[in-house]
Amino acid sequence: MLCPGDARLVAREPALSALATLLDPEALAAIVTRRSGVSVTHATPTYLRYKPATSCLVAYELQIAGRASPLAVYARTHAGDAASVKIDNAVRQPAWSGPLGPGIFAVDDPPLTLFTFPNDHELDVLPRLHDPAELSRLLGKASKDLRGRDFGPLEQLRYKPERRFAGRATAADGESFFIKAYAPANAGPAIAGARAFEPRGSLQLARFLGGYARRGVAAWEWLRGRPIDLHTRSEGLSHSCARVGEALAMLHHQPALVPDAYAPTRLAEILAESIAAIHAIAPNAISRLHRLASRLEDWVAPAQLSPLHGDFSPGQVLLSEAAVAILDFDRAGRGPADLDLGNFIANVELLALLGEAPPTAPGACADSLVQGYFGAGAPTQAGIHVRTRPATAFALMRLAPEPFRTRRADWPELLEAILTRAEVLLDPA
């Protein structure tokens, strides 16, 4: 059954005839059971990517009768004549069979294609990575340090269908490595970002071991550490965030060779893309979105650019007694320093709104992060502290569709709360 927000979206999307099925776990489970002959007892949506009037992709974990662990699948549909073409192209590609029989199969009514992990239309290297012999061969191609080593089964850590996969590979001697897979077109920039920065002072980086861009595979050393505990006491959280701010300043000070990915023109485009993404799922918010955008006009035109992480958040940080490790430079580029600061704070704001962090966490993180950043000797030009609030509002607008994408049934209410928080940050009086 569709939640009210999803039902309203389906009513506005006649071009995507399979959208109602993709958004309804019970309907999707029934389709898979009927098409495969395997009994799907429960379906849990985990991720969505939606392009209005064009396409939709939804990832699920399926509980199958007689199987202990859930099965990862994703289904996608396209609008109009593109649907049959995309389906034909998908079912013609080589596929690994699995618990549902064929690893890729099509459904005519409604028109959709279903991929069983590790089959993926864009990450065609994934099935090979899940064959230990092929994994060993590909990692040897990616890095001379891994050449000649034998690896066991790959452990999944994070997966966004048709975008990227992150996993842990363990060699026969027990040593672990962090592995990522990309669509080949995205591998080059990600590998360049991995090579752009160096450890410095208390800033620790995972050593990049190498990449095999043609196959979209990259490898790093495995770092040990603990994530930031947003539920710890305020003093402990403040101390951790101050350390993170100090490490971030050391990152920003490096003469890294990264593209101007967050120059003013690109920030304006990102803001417009954020407005379009929100408007697609909440059309009544358009006037509100334009008001928010007008308040961000000055912030979008920074005078100075620094090398940035580009996707900085608590999930990209590991703490140890002596160091702060910053991970994942897939989106590295030059831009305003407060973009990284604002993105980190906005992610904590989102976790608080989702009930996954205390309501006091954003304030404790924001103050301590900026104080740690300046304490590390960051440029104290007038305005960067003042600019952190609009930077956080900007990042919140980018994050506003996340509850929809992660399939929260209450996503309309959460989207409303995120926009309200952005407004407060831009008009704290």
pLDDT in tens, 28-80: 999 999 999 999 999 999 999 999 999 999 999 999 998 999 999 999 999 97
HEC readout, the chain: CCCHHHHHHHHCCCCCCCHHHHHCHHHHHHHHHHHHCCCEEEEEEEEEEEECCCEEEEEEEEEECCCCCCEEEEEEEECCCHHHHHHHHHHHCCCCCECCECCEEEECCCCEEEEECCCCCCCCCHHHHCCHHHHHHHHHHHCHHHCCCCECCCEEEEEECCCEEEEEEEECCCCEEEEEEECHHHHHHHHHHHCCCCCECCEECCCEEEEECCCCEEEEECCCCECCCCCCCHHHHHHHHHHHHHHHHHHHCCCCCCCCCCCHHHHHHHHHHHHHHHHHHCHHHHHHHHHHHHHCCCCCCCCCCEEECCCCCHHHEEECCCCEEECCCCCCEEECHHHHHHHHHHHHHHHHHCCCCCCCHHHHHHHHHHHHHHHCCCCCCCCHHHHHHHHHHHHHHHHCCHHHHCCCCCHHHHHHHHHHHHHHHHCCC
- Examine the domain organization and report whether 249 and 152 are in the same domain: no
- Examine the domain organization and report whether 148 and 16 are in the same domain: no
In angstroms, the CA 180 to CA 316 distance is 15
Domain end point (choices 116, 138, 157): 116
Residue 413 has φ and ψ, to the nearest 5°, of -70, -40
The number of residues in the chain equals 429
Report yes or no on 227 lying in a domain.
no
- Examine the domain organization and report whether 206 and 169 are in the same domain: yes
Report yes or no on 188 lying in a domain.
yes
User: pTM value?
Assistant: 0.93
Residues 6+ apart with CB under 8 A from 273: none
* pLDDT at res. 82: 63
In angstroms, the CA 186 to CA 123 distance is 10
Domain end point (choices 68, 88, 116): 116
- What are the tokens at 30? 């029934």
* pLDDT at res. 378: 46
| Beta partners for residue 324, in sequence order | 203, 319
- Examine the domain organization and report whether 66 and 191 are in the same domain: no
Domain end point (choices 189, 221, 253): 221
- Examine the domain organization and report whether 302 and 336 are in the same domain: yes
| Beta partners for residue 392, in sequence order | none
pLDDT (tens digit per residue) in 226-256 = 999 999 888 899 999 999 999 999 999 999 9
**Cβ-count burial 290-308 (b if 16+ within 10 Å, e if not):** eebbebbeebbebeebbbb
- Examine the domain organization and report whether 82 and 170 are in the same domain: no
Report yes or no on 229 lying in a domain.
no
In angstroms, the CA 277 to CA 399 distance is 10
Report yes or no on 272 lying in a domain.
yes
Instruction: Write out the residue range of the structural domain in which residue 191 sits.
Output: 126-221
- Examine the domain organization and report whether 55 and 144 are in the same domain: no
Report yes or no on 330 lying in a domain.
yes
- Examine the domain organization and report whether 209 and 242 are in the same domain: no
* pLDDT at res. 85: 61
- Examine the domain organization and report whether 131 and 247 are in the same domain: no
In angstroms, the CA 31 to CA 107 distance is 8
Report yes or no on 121 lying in a domain.
no
Give me the CATH number covering residue 144: 3.30.200.20
Give me the CATH number covering residue 99: 3.30.200
- Report the number of distinct structural domains present in the chain: 3
* pLDDT at res. 383: 47
* Range 165-174 contact pairs with CB under 8 angstroms and sequence separation of 24 or more: 165/120, 165/123, 165/126, 165/129, 167/129, 168/222, 169/135, 169/139, 169/219, 171/146, 173/149
In angstroms, the CA 174 to CA 170 distance is 6
- Examine the domain organization and report whether 321 and 390 are in the same domain: yes
Report yes or no on 228 lying in a domain.
no
* pLDDT at res. 427: 86
- Examine the domain organization and report whether 264 and 402 are in the same domain: yes
Report yes or no on 226 lying in a domain.
no
- Examine the domain organization and report whether 177 and 203 are in the same domain: yes
Among residues 27, 21, 22, 23, the alpha carbon closest in space to that of 6 is found at 23
Task: Tell me the angle at which helices 384-399 and 361-375 cross, rounded to the nearest 10 degrees.
Answer: 130
Ranges of the chain with pLDDT below 50: 378-383
* pLDDT at res. 83: 62
Give me the CATH number covering residue 377: 3.90.1200.10
